[in-house]
Amino acid sequence: MMQWLAVFRRENLENWRNFKWIWVPIVFILLGVMDPISMYYLPKILEATGGLPEAASLNLPQYRPEDIIMASLSQFSQLGVLIIVLMTMGLIARERRSGVAELVLVKPVKYRTYITAKWSATSLLVLVSLTCGLLMSWYYTNILFGVLSFQQFLQVWGFYSFWLLFVVSISMFMNTLVKNSGAVAFLTFMTIILSSIVTKIFSKYLVWSPNRLSEYIMDTINTGTVPGELLGTAGMSSVLILLLITGSVFMLRTKEMA
Amino acid sequence: MGVIRWQLILPILIIELILIGLALFDWFRTKETNGHRWMWLFIILIINPFGPILYFLIGRKH
């Protein structure tokens, strides 16, 4: 336990030193705020820049607060995931290549400790950033578009966390698979894209695929009830995350022993 | 366009300034970057708001 805390603290310190604790939350805040503000100002900008004949009436859809927070979620799913993957691509791979990992693992630090401490430190950073971003998105949505209850916010936040943790876990696993950080990012993206394609094709059967989290979250905040599929998907995501972490420990052990 | 509500935009401007300031601070401190050092200064200053992010992601030497 003491050892685990030591590795965890070292990771956190590292994340402070390279400013990740400042810029990652800031990026998520910007991503979360982008959609509420641009959708609020869009009609006004169109009006001001003109270009439309007098008779043309502008029929912009009336956005509900639920639509806006979902737009922010899709920002997190695109640019947010991109940034998480690029940020974690060297997490273990770089240390393995430069030999720091061996230095750490020569001391009696267990592979399990090393992996879980790194995963926890990264997940903490990602979750805090997501919280900052979603809070700001929620705040601006409430000011500009109407009320979205705290309960709805909690549902979006809680269930979407599973998706980002899943991404972190995939990236972590790829880190133990190859040493080149570019290859890590590539493999992680390919996994996410492939799983989303497979989920789309076999959507009838893959009811609990983590790729469908956003879809179910939208249903939840629109209808006000949590569908059973969402709970199943969250459970399935947790299982997959656990498998990926166990797989990482296993891969690292076999790779380093060889 | 007299309808811009500054209390909405101002927090975002401040956050962006913090991001740029942080990237510049780090750029001044480091001697080496991936790629040309002065190129990164222009990227940080000109491409907004993604320049500083790009710098932190791929510009910094580890």
Return the SS3 of A231. helix
Residue A112: alpha-carbon gap to chain centroid: 23
State whether A44 and B1 contact (CB < 8 Å). Answer: yes
Amino acid code (one letter) for B54: L
Whether A16 contacts chain B with CB within 8 A? no
Closest to B53 (Cβ–Cβ): which among A18, A23, A40? A23
CB-based contacts of A167: which residues, under 8 Å, 6+ apart? A81, A84, A85, A188, A192
Lowest mean pLDDT among A40-44, A167-171, A208-212, A224-228: A40-44
Amino acid code (one letter) for A112: R
Q: How far is B17 from chain A (nearest CA, A)?
A: 11
**Dihedral sign computed on CA atoms, order A124, A104, A107, A247:** positive
Whether A206 contacts chain B with CB within 8 A? no
Supply the pLDDT for residue A243: 98
CA distances, B12 to each of A75, B7, B49 (Å): 17, 10, 11
- Which of the given ranges, A45-54, A102-111, A238-247, B34-43, has the highest pLDDT on average? A238-247
Total-model pTM: 0.91
Amino acid code (one letter) for A228: G
In this prediction, residue A56 has a pLDDT band, given cuts at 50, 70 and 90, of low
Mean pLDDT over residues A7-23, rounded? 93
pLDDT digits (tens, 9 = 90+) for A75-93: 999 999 999 999 999 899 8
Share of chain A above pLDDT 90, in %: 77
Q: Which two tokens stand for residue A247?
A: 């797989």
State whether A23 and B56 contact (CB < 8 Å). Answer: yes
Cα separation, A91 vs A213, whole angstroms: 26
Cα separation, A65 vs A145, whole angstroms: 5
Q: Which two tokens stand for residue A146?
A: 């109407």
Supply the pLDDT for residue A257: 63
Whether A46 contacts chain B with CB within 8 A? no
Q: Is the pLDDT of residue A97 over 60?
A: yes
pLDDT digits (tens, 9 = 90+) for B23-58: 999 999 988 888 888 999 999 999 877 899 999 998
**Dihedral sign computed on CA atoms, order B34, A251, A123, A98:** negative
List, as one string, the DSSP characters of chain B.
Answer: -TT--HHHHHHHHHHHHHHHHHHHHHHHH-S-BSS-HHHHHHHHHHSTTHHHHHIIIIIB--
Q: Is the pLDDT of residue A66 over 90?
A: yes
State whether B57 and A86 contact (CB < 8 Å). Answer: yes
List, as one string, the DSSP characters of A166-187.
Answer: HHHHHHHHHHHH-S-HHHHHHH
Supply the pLDDT for residue B1: 45
State whether B12 and A23 contact (CB < 8 Å). Answer: no
Q: If you ran DSSP here, which 8-state letter would residue A225 be given?
A: S
In this prediction, residue B3 has a pLDDT band, given cuts at 50, 70 and 90, of low
Residue corresponding to tokens 């949590």: A226
Q: Is the pLDDT of residue A193 over 90?
A: yes
Lowest mean pLDDT among A50-54, A188-192, A197-201, A208-212: A50-54
Picking from A91, A69, A68, the residue whose alpha carbon sits closest to that of residue A18 is: A91
The ipTM estimated for the assembled molecules is 0.89
